[in-house]
């Protein structure tokens, strides 16, 4: 190990802190520690700092209305998110600045200036209106990482139609379930796209979803990505034809109430079906704009790259809304990180002189595995700040990122948040705080977050507990603000009463240290985090039990070097069915019902599942078998004889 690596290892193992470089502090958007105190002393009014980064059509009367649910952030305010992301930059001298830089999968690239993006968004907004979309209608967007996706999002925002982006890799069933649940009658999709050089026929998946829907779709817009001639039905429209029909049209941005929904997004939880989260126009936009400024340190002159997919919340908040509201250049990358070569990401950073890079620990672990020779081939000195999100980052990966990508010159922000929080909640402020690899940091200024035990009592430093948010925050979704079941009425049973008789249980385990830094310990519910993507075990189980011949299934996570966690399925077959042909069928069924990333890495056939006397599957035991851990207390088990068989079956499969 080279000397500097040894140094770093010693510092890490001692849990030592690393100061942000002074060159960074000097230019940081936030560099005064007093910001924490200012928010604490003047809460919630200090959140006006976030609200005032936006342009309002009607100024808000109060930063936070309601001292119990429903909470109304920026109450009385009216605004338009598209106006804030586009129109206001035209007057601020940014009309010829690049807003969106797209790098396509086949090596193509396309840039849109703020003026060009404004024009295309207006034309598409006019087209949507023409197709019958009215304020409040939900428009589903089912597209890969192509510029038409953010264009469609902003066009929806312009006319006050909440968008529902469905990850392009999801299957027809998953699309249909979301459209049905949201009552969405409009769909924007594309003919197809390329994955690893082979075309995926997205339109076919969309057609299949339409067949499954409980209701009719009024209009479908199809973006031509593959360049093939796609035959269109009467209620289907080509994207380019629509733009051409509305060339030069401008659409006035609709003034939306701060609490009106900007979009819906579905995420996995403990229930069998994904649940919809509705984010607001004012609070959400203020939260993501403020954190893009305070945590990602984005400046309008920057070129910024978040490598997430827009199909997830990270892409909504930190590819589209936050960065565009700040008038920066945001990159959109459709390709794979190893195509044409494993230096692709670093080549893109060098070529585009990227200032800020935000990615996931799973990607960092993959880059580490490929080796530092790839980043070393490139000049990465344009980088100023690095970020991660989606899952805990282990100190070794943190160190590699800091050293080999940031050259020890860039702070690393480990940002903890969720689909439900809309924007970042726990992170260091890179111009203020020291960094502790492996620990996300303190709650951001103005955020009330703490770690409690099952009774809702704060735990001592170093003890594990549940991460709860004790104060409302601007990016909170509508259901939570309105208290549709988000009160602490489940574990932990007693809310931590700081300001309100209210708290949000994040379903994450965590520990806090003497300095208030929070280390995340993973989900405490039945959610599996594969490469930073959430899947409920019940969703996957129900796809498996739909397969003919499957009697029962239980899904657990297993640790995985690159993905963080992988999906492992234990399956019992009905009498008379053979294992081998069903293994592929089961994997295909999950791929079809949910999507390729949810497919189990291993299917373990077992004659029975371990059950408690009350008939509940003992997942803890299944996880322990998968991890090769001590099996612990099995006295609650009704069928202890199954344990030996499970271990044998597991070993036989791995
Ligand atoms: O378990 C936490 C993990 O990801 C979950 C949220 O997933 P999702 O809603 O898909 O949003 C991902 C992007 C914000 C959390 O409950 N998670 C997210 N960020 C971190 C994390 N775990 C540890 N450290 C993080 N920085």
Q: 191-208: per-residue pLDDT in tens? A: 999 877 788 899 999 999
CATH code, domain with 556: 3.30.300.30
Eight-class DSSP state of 157? H
**pLDDT tens digit sequence for 49-100:** 999 999 999 999 999 998 777 899 999 999 999 999 999 999 999 999 999 9
Gap from CA of 424 to ligand 1 centroid (Å) = 10
286 with 406, same domain: the answer is yes
Is the distance from the beta carbon of residue 419 to the nearest atom of ligand 1 less than 6 Å?
A: yes
533 with 515, same domain: the answer is no
Among 216, 239, 254, where does a domain finish? 254
Q: Which of ligand 1's atoms lies nearest the C-alpha of 523?
A: 1
Q: What is the pLDDT of residue 145?
A: 97
CATH code, domain with 509: 3.40.50.12780
Is the distance from the beta carbon of residue 318 to the nearest atom of ligand 1 less than 6 Å?
A: no
Assess whether pLDDT exceeds 50 at residue 379: yes
**pLDDT tens digit sequence for 309-346:** 999 999 999 999 999 999 999 999 999 999 999 999 99
Q: What is the pLDDT of residue 175?
A: 96
Q: What is the pLDDT of residue 492?
A: 42
Nearest CA to ligand 1 atom 13: 390
Task: Tell me how far CA of residue 468 lies from CA of 449, 460, 493, in angstroms.
Answer: 6, 15, 12
Residue 197, domain member (yes or no): yes
Q: What is the pLDDT of residue 207?
A: 97
Assess whether pLDDT exceeds 50 at residue 487: no
Q: Up-side HSE of residue 319: CA atoms within 13 Å toward CB?
A: 27
1 pLDDT tier (thresholds 50, 70, 90):
very low
Lowest mean pLDDT among 30-34, 156-160, 229-233, 277-281: 229-233
**pLDDT tens digit sequence for 32-50:** 999 999 999 999 999 999 9
179-207 in b/e form (b: 16+ CB < 10 A) is bebbebbbbbbbbbbbbeeeebebbebbe
Gap from CA of 391 to ligand 1 centroid (Å) = 5
555 with 574, same domain: the answer is yes
Q: What is the pLDDT of residue 458?
A: 87
Mean pLDDT of 286-300: 98
Q: What percent of the chain clears pLDDT 90, i.e. is strictly above it?
A: 71
What are 180's two structure tokens?
A: 């049905």
Mean pLDDT of 216-228: 93
Mean pLDDT of 369-388: 97
Mean pLDDT of 465-474: 91
Q: What is the pLDDT of residue 490?
A: 42
Is the distance from the beta carbon of residue 313 to the nearest atom of ligand 1 less than 6 Å?
A: yes
Among 239, 254, 269, where does a domain finish? 254
What are 518's two structure tokens?
A: 């929070």
193 with 286, same domain: the answer is no
Report how far Cα 28 is from the mean position of its chain's Cα atoms: 25
Task: Please say whether the beta carbons of 528 and 555 come within 8 A.
Answer: yes
Among 497, 521, 545, where does a domain finish? 521
Mean pLDDT of 214-219: 94
Is the distance from the beta carbon of residue 392 to the nearest atom of ligand 1 less than 6 Å?
A: yes
Residue 240, domain member (yes or no): yes
Q: What is the pLDDT of residue 117?
A: 98
486 pLDDT tier (thresholds 50, 70, 90):
very low
Eight-class DSSP state of 47? G
Q: Which of ligand 1's atoms lies nearest the C-alpha of 414?
A: 26
Assess whether pLDDT exceeds 60 at residue 11: no
Is the distance from the beta carbon of residue 624 to the nearest atom of ligand 1 less than 6 Å?
A: no
584 with 507, same domain: the answer is no
Q: What is the pLDDT of residue 489?
A: 44
Q: Up-side HSE of residue 49: CA atoms within 13 Å toward CB?
A: 18
245 with 342, same domain: the answer is no
Residue 320, domain member (yes or no): yes
Assess whether pLDDT exceeds 60 at residue 14: no
β-strands 109-113, 98-103: how paired?
A: antiparallel
Q: What is the pLDDT of residue 12?
A: 52
CATH code, domain with 180: 3.40.50.980
Provide the whole-model pTM. 0.91
Residue 434, domain member (yes or no): yes
Assess whether pLDDT exceeds 70 at residue 9: no
- Which domain covers residue 36, as residue numbers? 3-77+281-521
Q: What is the pLDDT of residue 90?
A: 97
Assess whether pLDDT exceeds 50 at residue 3: no
Report how far Cα 483 is from the mean position of its chain's Cα atoms: 23
Gap from CA of 272 to ligand 1 centroid (Å) = 20
Q: Which of ligand 1's atoms lies nearest the C-alpha of 417?
A: 14
44 with 166, same domain: the answer is no
644/236 Cα distance (integer angstroms): 57
493 pLDDT tier (thresholds 50, 70, 90):
very low
Q: What is the pLDDT of residue 483?
A: 62
Q: What is the pLDDT of residue 128?
A: 98
156/206 Cα distance (integer angstroms): 20
For the chain, the domain total comes to 3
Task: Tell me how far CA of residue 265 lies from CA of 177, 258, 273, 634, in angstroms.
Answer: 12, 18, 13, 40
Nearest CA to ligand 1 atom 12: 390
Gap from CA of 337 to ligand 1 centroid (Å) = 22
Q: pLDDT averaged over the chain?
A: 91
Nearest CA to ligand 1 atom 11: 418
Residue 416, domain member (yes or no): yes
Is the distance from the beta carbon of residue 275 to the nearest atom of ligand 1 less than 6 Å?
A: no
* Closest to 409 measured CA to CA, from 389, 385, 432: 385
Task: Please say whether the beta carbons of 322 and 87 come within 8 A.
Answer: no
376 with 495, same domain: the answer is yes
626/612 Cα distance (integer angstroms): 19
What are the residues facing 450 on neighbouring strands?
Answer: 468
332-365 in b/e form (b: 16+ CB < 10 A) is bbbbebeeeebbbbbbbbbebebbbbbbbbbbbb
224 with 301, same domain: the answer is no
Assess whether pLDDT exceeds 90 at residue 269: no
Cα end-to-end span (Å), the chain: 32
Q: What is the pLDDT of residue 141?
A: 98
Backbone angles phi, psi at 351, to 5 degrees: -60, -40
What are 421's two structure tokens?
A: 């929080």
Assess whether pLDDT exceeds 80 at residue 498: no
Residue by residue, DSSP assigns 447-503 as --EEEE-TTSPBPPTT-EEEEEE-S--TT--HHHHTTSS-SS-SSS-S---SSSS--
- Looking up tokens 């690596």 gives 5
Residue 372, domain member (yes or no): yes
Mean pLDDT of 147-159: 98
Is the distance from the beta carbon of residue 203 to the nearest atom of ligand 1 less than 6 Å?
A: no
* Closest to 385 measured CA to CA, from 426, 416, 344, 431: 431
571/381 Cα distance (integer angstroms): 51
* Closest to 646 measured CA to CA, from 536, 571, 574, 585: 571
Is the distance from the beta carbon of residue 520 to the nearest atom of ligand 1 less than 6 Å?
A: yes
511 with 586, same domain: the answer is no
Q: What is the pLDDT of residue 98?
A: 98
Residue 293, domain member (yes or no): yes
Is the distance from the beta carbon of residue 297 to the nearest atom of ligand 1 less than 6 Å?
A: no
* Closest to 154 measured CA to CA, from 193, 198, 110, 114: 114
Nearest CA to ligand 1 atom 7: 418
Residue 93, domain member (yes or no): no
Assess whether pLDDT exceeds 90 at residue 373: yes
Assess whether pLDDT exceeds 50 at residue 425: yes
112/146 Cα distance (integer angstroms): 12
Nearest CA to ligand 1 atom 15: 418
126 with 201, same domain: the answer is yes
219 with 338, same domain: the answer is no
- Looking up tokens 């439900």 gives 420
Which of 14-18, 231-235, 248-252, 450-454: highest mean pLDDT?
248-252
* Closest to 207 measured CA to CA, from 222, 224, 228: 222
Mean pLDDT of 264-292: 92
321/265 Cα distance (integer angstroms): 14
3-state DSSP call for residue 329?
A: strand
Is the distance from the beta carbon of residue 416 to the nearest atom of ligand 1 less than 6 Å?
A: yes
């Amino acid at each position: 190990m080279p000397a500097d690596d040894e140094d770093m290892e010693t510092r890490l193992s001692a849990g030592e802190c690393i100061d942000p470089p002074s060159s960074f502090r000097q230019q940081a958007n936030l560099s005064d520690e007093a910001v924490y105190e200012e928010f604490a002393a003047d809460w919630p009014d200090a959140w006006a700092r976030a609200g005032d980064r936006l342009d309002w059509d009607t100024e808000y009367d109060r930063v936070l209305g309601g001292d119990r649910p429903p909470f109304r952030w920026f109450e009385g305010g009216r605004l338009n998110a598209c106006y804030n992301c586009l129109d206001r930059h035209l007057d601020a001298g940014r009309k010829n600045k690049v807003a969106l830089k797209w790098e396509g999968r086949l090596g193509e690239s396309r840039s849109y200036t703020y003026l060009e993006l404004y024009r295309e968004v207006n034309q598409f907004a006019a087209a949507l209106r023409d197709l019958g979309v009215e304020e409040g209608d939900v428009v589903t967007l089912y597209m890969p990482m192509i510029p038409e996706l953010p264009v469609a999002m902003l066009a929806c925002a312009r006319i006050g139609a909440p968008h529902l982006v469905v990850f392009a890799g999801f299957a027809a069933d998953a699309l249909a379930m979301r459209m049905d649940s949201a009552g969405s009658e409009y769909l924007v999709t594309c003919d197809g796209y390329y994955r690893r050089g082979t075309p995926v026929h997205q339109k076919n998946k969309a057609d299949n979803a339409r067949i499954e829907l409980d209701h009719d779709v009024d209009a479908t817009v199809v973006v031509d990505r593959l360049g093939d001639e796609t035959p269109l039905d009467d209620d289907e429209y080509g994207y380019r034809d629509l733009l051409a029909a509305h060339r030069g049209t401008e659409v006035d941005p609709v003034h939306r109430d701060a609490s009106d929904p900007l979009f819906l997004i579905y995420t996995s939880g403990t229930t069998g079906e994904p649940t919809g989260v509705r984010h607001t126009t004012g609070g959400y936009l203020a939260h993501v704009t403020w954190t893009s400024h305070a945590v990602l340190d984005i400046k309008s002159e920057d070129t910024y790259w978040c490598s997430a997919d827009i199909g997830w919340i990270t892409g909504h908040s930190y590819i589209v809304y936050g960065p565009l509201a700040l008038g920066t250049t945001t990159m959109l990358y459709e390709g794979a990180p190893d195509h044409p070569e494993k230096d692709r990401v670093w080549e893109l950073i060098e070529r585009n002189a990227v200032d800020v890079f935000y990615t996931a620990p799973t990607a960092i672990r993959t880059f580490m595995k490929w080796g530092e020779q790839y980043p070393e081939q490139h000049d990465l000195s344009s980088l100023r700040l690095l970020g991660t999100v989606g899952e805990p980052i282990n100190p070794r990966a943190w160190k590699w990122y800091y050293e080999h990508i940031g050259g020890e010159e860039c702070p690393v922000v480990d940002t903890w948040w969720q689909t439900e929080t809309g924007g970042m909640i726990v992170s260091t402020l890179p111009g203020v705080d020291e960094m502790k690899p492996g620990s996300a940091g303190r709650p951001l200024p103005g955020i009330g977050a703490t770690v409690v035990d099952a009774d809702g009592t704060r735990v001592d430093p170093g003890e594990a507990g549940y991460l709860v948010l004790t104060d409302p925050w601007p990016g909170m979704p509508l259901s939570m603000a309105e208290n549709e079941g988000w009160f602490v009425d489940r574990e932990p049973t007693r809310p931590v009463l700081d300001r309100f008789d209210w708290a949000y249980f994040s379903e994450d385990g965590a520990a806090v240290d003497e300095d208030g830094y929070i280390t995340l310990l993973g989900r405490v519910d039945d959610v599996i985090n594969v490469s930073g993507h959430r899947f409920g075990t019940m969703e996957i189980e129900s796809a498996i039990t739909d397969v003919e011949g499957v009697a029962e299934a239980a899904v657990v996570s297993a640790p995985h070097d690159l993905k963080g966690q992988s999906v492992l399925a234990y399956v019992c077959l009905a009498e008379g069915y053979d294992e081998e042909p069903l293994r592929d069928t089961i994997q295909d069924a999950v791929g079809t019902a949910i999507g390729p990333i949810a497919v189990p890495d291993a299917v373990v056939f077992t004659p029975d599942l371990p059950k408690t006397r009350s008939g509940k599957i003992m997942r803890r035991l299944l996880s322990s078998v998968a991890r090769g851990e001590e099996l612990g207390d099995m006295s609650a088990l009704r069928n202890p004889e199954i344990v030996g068989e499970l271990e044998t079956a597991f070993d036989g499969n791995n």
